[in-house]
A and B are shown apart, each in its own frame.
Chain A
Amino acid sequence: MFLRSSRPSDDAFLDEAIGYADALNGVARRMCRDAALAEDLVQETLLKAIKGRDQFAPGTNLRSWLFRILTNLWVSRYRRAGLERATFDGPEVDPISDGWVSAETMRQLRDPEQVAISSLLRAELERALELLPEDFRMAVILIDAQDFTYEEAASALSIPMGTVMSRVHRGRKMLQKVLIEQGRSLGITKADGHAAGDAKSEPPANLQAFREKKFRGTP
């Protein structure tokens, strides 16, 4: 009972787990928006993994398991730790409608040199990502930044796969709308007639609504 023996596989487990620290930290940073808090979240995640290491079935997906711990911790603890909870309620924002955007506009939003959004819009993208409702943000980040499959993300977030897909879809649509709007206001994209008409008839991505929510604070 008082043995302190550490099997080699314990060390291997630790090494493998800490190998995901950067990935966990990247996601934690996007969720917490605070470097110190993100590190706490990563540390707590990995300590929980160590504590519960016997529950991990070797040969299964350690990354997915770690992210599941992280998201559970985030949901149950950190999200409540005085951080605002950007929510998205009501039909005021409908990002699902797929407004027609010209190929030219889409091209202008990209960086011509590399696979990336135009460097002129990256700060806006970062801000838009921060202001996404956190459930959407988490889904987009796991799929886009961590290359999770829909199935892995469903397991990490404890939600049905269809819900993952709809959150990713809606999250991306919101990001795209912000890019299109900002691209127009910064003069990066030309307002082609058709798309401009669409923009009038459609509700905007409503960054302002998110901002208002953001500053409304927690209950």
Chain B
Amino acid sequence: MTPSSPGCRSFVRVVESFLDGELEPSALIEGERHVASCAHCRERVALGRALKASVRELTCAPMGNEARSRLRKSMEAEMARTPSPRAAGTSSPRTRSAVVGLSFGLVAAIAAAFLVVPHLIPGLFAGPFPGLLAREAPREALAVSGDDDDALRELVAEHVHPLPMDGIDIQTVQGLEQYIGIPLRKHFPPSRARLVGARIVPVQKERAAIVQYELVPEGGGAGAPRRISVLVFDPRRIHLPSVLMRGDSQEIHQVRTTRTQGMPVAVMEDNGIGYALSGDVNEAQAVELVRYVASP
């Protein structure tokens, strides 16, 4: 068989799934049959296996005994510090997941206070931790959030150094909805901003999307287009309380603004969807743009 035969072409399409053991049995058999009859694809597979093996070897970094025993000691100490609520029987699952959800220093203390008296501080949150209280922790999910600043830092970092997008047009962006559980259908009109693409990002313990646009310059100005990035998230699951609590934040027309790493960030919630917008704009523009994208 020659390397460009139809058999090779269809094998090349699945060669990586073949190498990774991800083929259905029937496709696997077909693949093996092709490899047996094709010297070129045999080399492809051999090189693929060699590459995998070498990457594995390069990634092997066993911990030293000393480091491991340090690690064990600190794990044991942590175990003692945080007795299993199941074993101690003192904490209901609801409280537990809520506290762990925000369990860092001051934020944890504030959260704990709110759990007791959420209604005493009206207006600070859209609701009293609606997501955290109502939702069972999903299997395999753990609150690994630091604080909500992580979410905004992620937004700004994605803006400054965007990674490859998961969706690059209205349709593929919309296809990402299933991963974040909220619609991604509201975009700027073409006269205002061009959709660059969207990417799924882990924020706190949940998924959110960051959608990027290029602003259409007013009056057709030249130069590099200014970009904006919008974090679209489910406010029942992802909380940005420090935006609301930070001394320097202020509210303008239901939009909260703050600065993260020198960049303006405008946050708004509408119709059960949260938006945090940052980019190559000033604060007033960020407010105006987030209001635009958030309003129906």
Contacts and interface: CB of A to CB of B under 8 A. Distances in A.
B139 A106 contact: no
B285 to A, nearest CB: 20
A159 B58 CA distance: 25
Contacts of A72: 144, 202, 205
Contacts of B59: 26-27, 29-30, 141, 144-146
B106 interface: no
Contacts of A168: 16, 20
How large, as a class, is the contact surface on chain B? 35 or more
Interface string B53-93: 11111111111000110111011101110111111101000
B75 A47 contact: yes
Contacts, number: 240
A103 B40 contact: yes
Nearest to A109: B47
B12 interface: yes
B139 A50 contact: no
Interface in B9-46: 12, 16-17, 20-22, 39-40, 42-44, 46
A115 B53 contact: yes
A207 B248 CA distance: 43
Interface string B133-175: 0000101111111100010011001001111101000000000
A61 interface: yes
A69 B205 CA distance: 9
A114 B163 CA distance: 36
A116 B200 contact: no
A153 to B, nearest CB: 10
Given A10-B84, A69-B144, A141 B150 contact: no
Nearest to B4: A100
A100 B85 CA distance: 59
Nearest to B89: A3
Given A1-B88, A50-B79, A160-B179, A144 B205 contact: no
Interface in A118-174: 122, 125-126, 129, 133, 135, 140-141, 143-146, 149-150, 155, 157-160, 163, 165, 167-169, 172
Interface stretch (B95-103, B266-274, B275-283): B95-103
Contact of A6 (B42, B80, B139): B80
B176 interface: yes
A38 interface: yes
A129 to B, nearest CB: 6
B76 A14 contact: yes
A219 interface: yes
B71 A68 contact: no
Contacts of B202: 71-72, 75-76, 157-158
Given A54-B85, A175-B51, 14 more contacts: A1-B88, A1-B90, A6-B84, A39-B71, A46-B75, A48-B142, A56-B140, A57-B140, A69-B144, A76-B153, A88-B164, A117-B54, A144-B55, A172-B16
